[in-house]
Amino acid sequence: MPLTARQTRFVQEYLVDLNGTQAAIRAGYSARTADQQAARLLANVRIAAAVREAQAKREERTEISADRVLRRWWAIATADPQELMQLRRAPCPDCGTPDEPNPGCGKCHGEGVVQPWFRDTRRLTGDARLLFAGVKTTKDGIEVKVHDQMRATEMVARHLGMFVERQQTLGADGKPVDPVRPVLTITIEAAAALPQPGKQSGARRNA
C-alpha cells in the first residue's frame, strides 16, 4: 500500500532536520499531538523504509553522505579555538624582559599586560578552518566569530543515537509545555560509553 500524501510529506520534511515533531507539524499534523504522531509515523515500517530510501537517493544525488557530515560536525566540535585566537600576557614596559613578564617587576608584579592575538585567517588549515565563522568590526574592536562547538557536539550525539526523544509533558491547557524544543534523555548504552570521572581515556590528547 502506497503512502498517503501527508505521510509522503512527512518523509520529505523529516529529511530536512531529522526532527520528527517539527516534521509532523510541517506535514500538517496537529501541533498538540505532533510528538506522538512523529513517534507513530517513524515506527511505521513503510515510512521508515521510505526515509531510508530517500536518504540513499539523496546521498547518491548530492554525493554527501551521513558519514561525511558527521566527520565535519566532529571536526568543528573538537577544533582548538586557540589556533584562531589567544589571550597572551606580554612584559610591561618596566619588566625589562623581552618575551615573558618578569616576576620581580615592581610595576606589574609578573602579571604583564594583556594582549589579544588573532591568527591570519588566510593561513588557517584543518579543523581550525572549519571552526572559523568570520570576522566583524565593532565599536570595541575586532570580533572573531566561531561556530557553536556545543551545538556541533549535540549534532554528533544525535547522529550516533546517544539521545532519544520522549513524549513531552502537557500543560493544564492540554498543550505541550515546550512544543518547539525537544525533550532529550541520554540512553543507557551511551551513558555507559562515556568516560568515567577519575579515569583517563585511552586516546591521547595533543599538548
Task: Tell me how far apart the alpha carbons of residues 9 and 38 are, in angstroms, rounded to a whole number.
Answer: 12
pLDDT of residue 186: 47
Please report, in tens digits, the pLDDT of each residue of the chain (207 residues total): 789 999 999 999 998 888 899 999 999 999 899 989 999 999 999 999 999 898 888 777 766 677 778 888 899 999 999 999 998 899 999 998 988 999 999 999 999 999 888 999 888 888 999 999 998 888 888 888 999 999 998 888 877 777 655 544 555 565 555 544 444 444 445 545 545 444 444 444 443
pLDDT of residue 156: 85
Q: Is 176 helix (H, G, I), strand (E, B) or coil?
A: strand
- Which amino acid is present at 71? R
pLDDT of residue 56: 84
pLDDT of residue 26: 93
User: Domains in the chain, ordered, with CATH?
Assistant: 5-64+161-193 (1.10.10.1400), 85-118 (no CATH)
Provide the 8-state DSSP code for 111. Answer: -
pLDDT of residue 177: 55
Instruction: Return the exposure string of 94-124: e unless at least 16 CB atoms fall within 10 Å of the residue's CB, then b.
Output: ebeeeeebbeebeebeeebeeeeeeeeeeee
Task: Tell me how far apart the alpha carbons of residues 101 and 112 are, in angstroms, rounded to a whole number.
Answer: 5
- Bridge partners of 113? 90
- Could you tell me if 174 and 32 are in contact, meaning their C-beta atoms sit under 8 angstroms apart? yes
Q: How many CB atoms lie within 10 A of CB 137?
A: 8
Listed residue (100, 98, 97, 102) closest to 89, CA to CA: 100
> Structure pTM?
0.51
Q: Which residues contact 23 (CB under 8 A, 6 or more apart)?
A: 10, 13, 14, 16, 17, 38
C-alpha cell at 154: 549535540
C-alpha cell at 101: 613578564
- Could you tell me if 115 and 90 are in contact, meaning their C-beta atoms sit under 8 angstroms apart? yes
- Could you tell me if 113 and 90 are in contact, meaning their C-beta atoms sit under 8 angstroms apart? yes
